[in-house]
Structure 1
Amino acid sequence: MTTHRPPVCGILPPYLLRTLAQRTGEPAVARAAEHTLLIERTLRTEREVRAHAPHDRGRPPGPGFVPDRLRSAPAPPRRRPTVTTEEASEGPASPQRSVHDAEHGSSLPGTLARSEGQGPHADESVNEAYDGLGATWRLFQQEFGRDSLDGAGLPLVASVHFERDYDNAFWDGRQMVFGDGDGKVFRSFTDSLDVIGHELAHGFTQYTAGFVYVGQSGALNEHVSDVFGVLTAQFNADVDANAADWLVGKELFTEAVNGKALRSMIEPGTAYDDPQLGKDPQPASMADYVTLPHTAEHDNGGVHINSGIPNRAFALAAREVGGRAWQTVGPVWYDVMTAGELAKDADFVAFARATLAAALARYGEDSPAWRAVDGAWREVGVETAG
C-alpha cells in the first residue's frame, strides 16, 4: 500500500505573510515575507511531485493535494504496540532527539548539532529546539502513555536556522523545521514552546486521525495542534486552566508589533491588530464562520482562521472544569484522536459529537467534564444533538 506524505503545515498562515508583503513600510520585512511564501510554494510543489514519483531517497512518496485515501474513509484503530518482557526490562521510554543546523540553507536536516543525552550547545536555537522536543514528548508519554508522536518511539528530528529571514516553522511529515524570523516583526521560531508543541502535534495527527488539510477538517487539524501546543506549555509550566493565558505564539512578535500573540484560544480574533499585520481574523463562533475557497491561496479554506471556533470550545470547557487541562479535557481530545472512529474529512459537528462520546466514556454520564464540553460547543454554535 502506498504511504502518502502529509501537507507541510506552517505555524504562520499564508494570508498573514501576504499581508506583510503588501502592507509593510519596511522593505526588509516585505522581502522576508515574500521569500517565505516563495519557499512554501516550492515545498508544496515538491510535495505534489512526490505524489507521482516512484521514490524519494528511499522514503515513501508524498500526497497530492487531497489523496484518495484521505477523503472519507475512517482511520483504522490505533493500537499501542505490544511491549515485550525484554523491552520492559530496558527501563522507561525516553525521547530520541536530534537537532540539526541547516546553516541558513534549505538542505534538510543539515549538520547534526545536538543528539539525545548530550549537554547544552553553544547555539541557543539548538537548545530551545531540543528542550521543546523533550517537553512535547514528556506530555504525550507521561500524561497519555504515548511513546512519541506515532506511539512507537518515533525519533524527533529538528532543523534550526532554515534559510535566511525565514518567517515560519513547520512540520514536513518527517521532522520539525525552524526559521529565525526577520528580526523586525518575528523573532526566532524556537523561542515559543507552544509553537514547537503545535508543529509536533501535526505529526501526532498524521499518525492518528489524519484530518484532510482543507475546510473544516483542516481547521480541526490546526485546532488539535493548537490544543496540544498550548497543553505542552501549560504542562511544562504546571499552570492550570484558569491561570493560563491560552495564547499561541506569544513569544513570536517583536516589540514593533501591536499584538499579544499569533492566536488566542479563549478570545479568537483579539490576538493582534497591527498596521502591518492587519487584524486577527479568527471567528469565535459559527455565527462568524469564514467561507473561503479550498485553495492554498485562501488558506486551504481558512484552516488557520476557522480553527478559532473549536479552539474557543476547548478553552471554555477546560476553564469550566478547572484544574490542569491536560488532565481534564485534554484526555478527552486525546481519546477522540486515537479512537480511529472519525472520518478524515470530519467536520466540526462530527468532532464535537465525538468529544461528547469520549467525555461520557471517560468520566460518566452528566459528569462535570461532559457538561463542560457540551456547554462549550453550544457556546460557539456547533450543534451536538442528533
Structure 2
Amino acid sequence: MNQAFDGLGSTRQFYQDVLQRNSIDDRGMRLDAYVHRGVRYNNAFWNGQVMVFGDGDGVVFTDFTASLDVIAHELTHGVTEHTAGLDYHNQSGALNESMSDVMGVLVKQWSLRQTADQADWLIGADIFTPGIGADALRSLKAPGQAYDNDLLGKDPQPAHMRDYVELPDTEEGDNGGVHINSGIPNKAFYVTALEIGGYAWEVAGRIWYESLRASTATTEFQEFADTTFVKAGELYGIDSAEQKAVQTGWDGVGITVTSEPTAMRGSGVPSGTDSVADVVRHLAEMSASIENLRRDLQRQAVGGGRPAPPLA
C-alpha cells in the first residue's frame, strides 16, 4: 500500500513541478487507488476514476505497485483523457499508449534524477518475478527487445513504420494494435530525447506534453509528429537544436515531419519554415483589406449609396 501511495504522489508531483499541471484533470483531482485486486491478478489499470493494482500471480508477475513507471503510465491515461482524449484504437490508440509509456519513464527518470543517457528506458522492469527471463514489459530504447522467452514469446513491438502491424480493431486484436504499434512513437521520443541530451523531462517531455494538449481524439502518427515539430519550434525556436532533434527522432522511425500539422493545412495559414513571417504578412494584408472595406462602407453611408453585402 505504501508503494502505491508513494507512486501516486510522485506522479502527481511530477506533473505539478515539471509540467505545471494540477493533478490528472488539471483541477486538483484526488487520486484514489485500490491494492490487492482479486487473487493473483496480473495487471494494473486506471478506470477513469481510480487506480487498481494486482498482486501478480507470483509466477510471471509480482506486485504491480513495485514499478513507479507502471503507476505513472496508468495515471497518464487520465491526463490523456482530460486533454486530447485520443481514441483508443489503431494509431490514435497507439499514441495514447505511447504517451503513457513516455510519461511513465519520465516520472521514473525524474524521481531518480537520471539523464537521458543514464536511464534504462524500460516500462515494468520491476514487476517480473526473478524466474522470468525478461527485461521489462516494453522498451522505448529498443522496441521489440524487452523480452523473448518460451512463456511470453517475443516482444512484438515494431520500432519503424515499415514494420507497422495491421491488426483487427477488436479486443482480441488489441484494438488495432495499440500496445504493439506504440513502439514506433516510443522510439521516436527516445531518439529525440537522446539527441537533445540532459534530463529528458525538461525539453523533450515538454514538447510531447504540449503536443498532446494540441492534439485531438483522432490524431494519428503523422499529425502528432508534425505537431511535435511545430511545438519544438514555438518553444525553442525555428531550426533550433531541439527542433532538429525532433525531426531526427521521427526520421528514425520512418516518419518525415512537415512544418505544420495536418489539421492546420487548408486553414488559410501559409505553410513552410518561414510561416511566422508569412502569417504576419498575411494578417497585415487582411487588416488593410478590412480597413479599405470599412472606408467604402462609410463613404456609401454618407453618400446614401447602395449598401455593400454583409461579410460572411
TM-score when normalising by structure 1: 0.66
CA offsets per residue over residues 82-106 of structure 1, 9 Å max, x none? xxxxxxxxxxxxxxxxxxxxxxxxx
Instruction: Select 1:195's aligned residue among 40, 47, 70.
Output: 70
* Letter of the structure 2 residue corresponding to residue 318 of structure 1: A
Partner residue of 1:270? 145
Residue of structure 2 in register with 1:261 after alignment: 136
1:301-331 superposed Cα distances (whole Å, 9 cap, x missing partner)? 0000000000000011001110001101000
- Find the counterpart in structure 2 of residue 362 from structure 1: 235
Q: Distance in 1 between matches of 2:209 and 2:176?
A: 25
Flag the structure with more relative contact order, 1 or 2, with Cα contacts below 8 A and sequence separation at least 6: 1
Deviations 1:107-150 (A, max 9, x none): xxxxxxxxxxxxxxxxxxx1000000011011100011111011
Structure 1 letter corresponding to 2:251: R
Segments of 5+ residues of structure 2 without an aligned counterpart are: 260-312
* Equivalent AA in structure 2 for residue 358 of structure 1: K
User: 2:95 touches 2:182 (CA, 8 Å); kept in 1?
Assistant: yes
| Paired residues of 2:229 and 2:258 also in contact (CA < 8 A) | no
In the alignment, what sits opposite 1:236? 111
Selected match of 1:217 from 77, 92, 95 = 92
Aligned to 2:163: 288
Cα offset, 1:285, TM superposition? 0.3
**Paired residues of 2:80 and 2:96 also in contact (CA < 8 A):** yes
| Residue among 219, 238, 245 paired with 1:372 | 245
**Alpha-carbon distance, 1:199 to partner:** 0.2
Q: State how far apart, in whole Å, the 1-side matches of 2:193 and 2:84 are.
A: 22
Match of 2:225 among 334, 352, 356: 352
Aligned equivalent of 1:180: 55
CA distance in 1, matches of 2:219, 2:20: 26
Q: Which amino acid aligns with 1:135?
A: S
Aligned 8 A contact 2:22 2:28 in 1: yes
The alpha carbon displacement at 1:383 in A equals 2.5
Q: Which amino acid aligns with 2:11?
A: T
* SS of alignment partner, residue 45 of structure 2: strand
Deviation at 1:343, TM superposition (A): 2.7
1:385 CA drift (Å): 2.9
The one-letter code matched in structure 2 to 1:269 is G
Structure 1: distance between partners of 2:189 and 2:62: 28
Task: Write the letter of the residue equivalent to 1:381.
Answer: G
Instruction: Give the drift of 1:384.
Output: 1.5
Q: Measure how far apart 1:382 and its partner are.
A: 1.4
What amino acid is aligned across from residue 346 of structure 1 in structure 2?
Answer: T
Answer 1 or 2: which has greater helix percent.
2
**Number of residues of Structure 1 aligned to a counterpart in Structure 2:** 259
> What is the match of residue 74 of structure 1?
none
The 3-state SS of whatever aligns with 2:86 is: coil
2:34 paired residue number: 159
**Larger C-alpha radius of gyration, 1 or 2?**
2
Shift of 1:258: 1.3
Equivalent AA in structure 2 for residue 373 of structure 1: V
The alpha carbon displacement at 1:368 in A equals 1.1
What aligned pairs does 1:15-54 form with structure 2 within 5 A after superposition? none
Matched, 1:299 2:174: yes
**Secondary structure of 2:64's aligned partner:** coil
Shift of 1:294: 0.3
How far did residue 255 of structure 1 move?
Answer: 1.6
Matches within 5 A, 1:317-336: 317-336=192-211
Aligned residue number for residue 206 of structure 1: 81
2 CA distance for matches of 1:343 and 1:233?
A: 27
SS, match of residue 49 in structure 2: coil
Write the mapping of 1:33-182 to structure 2, written as runs, cut at 5 A: 126-182=1-57
Identity over aligned pairs, percent: 52
Partner of 1:252: 127
Q: Any idea what the Cα deviations from partners look like across 1:218-262, whole Å, max 9, x if unmatched?
A: 000000000111100000000010111100000011122111101
The one-letter amino acid paired with 2:70 is V
Unaligned runs of at least 5 residues, structure 1 = 1-125
Once the two structures are TM-superposed, the CA of residue 346 in structure 1 deviates from its matched residue by: 1.1
Q: 1: distance between equivalents of 2:118 and 2:235?
A: 25
Q: 1:184 and 1:222 mapped to 2: Cα distance?
A: 26
- Root mean square deviation, CA, Å: 0.8
Q: C-alpha distance in 2, partners of 1:384/1:137?
A: 32
SS in 2 for 1:327: coil
Q: Under a length normalisation based on structure 2, what TM-score does the superposition of the two structures give?
A: 0.82
